[in-house]
Amino acid sequence: MTTLGVFGGSFDPPHVAHVLAACYALAVGNFERLLVVPVYAHAFDKKLASFEHRVVMCELAFAELPQVEVSRIEQHLALPSRTLLTLEALHEQYPRHDLRLVVGSDLLAEAERWHRFDEIVRLAPPFVIGRSGRPHAEPSVDLPPVSSTRVRELLASPDAERAREELPWLVPRRVLDYVKSQRLYAQLSSVPPGSPLNGP
């Protein structure tokens, strides 16, 4: 059986560390493909940009990686989104594949908050990628300390000069162009999951 990597997250927005994580997983993880799975409605009730925006941004961010596919599967599952439910649905969709959950060591540190984490590990043993300041047992490179929170802060910041200096190093160019064209994150306003694309 071949192995399918499952890389879930809010991707609000996707940034360069997400892309680097995908490259690393494909390079050393022995995956046939990597599924990028944007969360539809966060289990911890985080306020997110619309699902449609985040899907489009993921497609733009990972466009240069032919082994990466962006999956909309959580759009069709029960709410709130649960990793276990997503993995069970993917197991049915890809019965001839072994699944592995690609996860950063920062998220793994919150495993006790996950719904039935032991069952998640059984269905898709984690492939852990290091995040700066989050040690873990398995050897791994550490991703740069880029966060979507920081990206959103810069996009909403009144300090336009600082944002212009930092953002091109944190966000893939295609994603940044899309964010600007759609005026996303300008006021960090909440957008309900599943809302249609917002106009400028």
Q: What is the CATH number of the domain that holds 121?
A: 3.40.50.620
Residue pLDDT, tens place only, 52-82: 999 999 999 999 999 999 999 999 998 888 9
The answer on pLDDT for 189 being more than 70 is: no
- Whether 151 maps to a domain, the answer reads no
What total of structural domains would you count in the chain? 1
Task: Give the Cα separation of 10 and 95 in Å (integer).
Answer: 26
pLDDT beyond 50 at 126: yes
Within 10 angstroms of residue 151's Cβ, the number of other Cβ atoms is 24
- Rounded Cα distance between 56 and 24, Å, is 22
pLDDT at 133: 55
Q: How far apart are the first and last CA of the chain?
A: 46
Give the model's confidence band at 199: pLDDT under 50 very low, under 70 low, under 90 confident, else very high.
Answer: very low
Question: Does residue 63 form part of some domain?
Answer: yes
Asked if residue 188 is part of any domain, the answer here is: no
Report if residue 14 sits inside a domain.
Answer: yes
Tell me: pLDDT of 158 over 90.
Answer: no
**Domain that residue 82 falls in:** 2-144
- pLDDT, residue 134, reads 53
Report the alpha-carbon distance of residue 54 to residue 138 in Å, rounded.
Answer: 30
User: Per the domain annotation, does 195 fall within a domain?
Assistant: no
> Cα–Cα distance between 90 and 190 in angstroms, integer?
29
| Alpha helices by DSSP H, the chain | 16-28, 51-61, 83-93, 105-108, 117-123, 148-156, 160-170, 173-182
Flag whether 65 is in a domain.
Answer: yes
Q: pTM of the prediction?
A: 0.87
In a domain, 129, yes or no: yes
Q: Which of 29, 52, 151 is nearest to 99 (CA)?
A: 29
Which range has the worst mean pLDDT, 132-136, 137-141, 153-157?
132-136
Element (H, E) at 5: strand 2-9
Is 128 within the bounds of a domain? yes
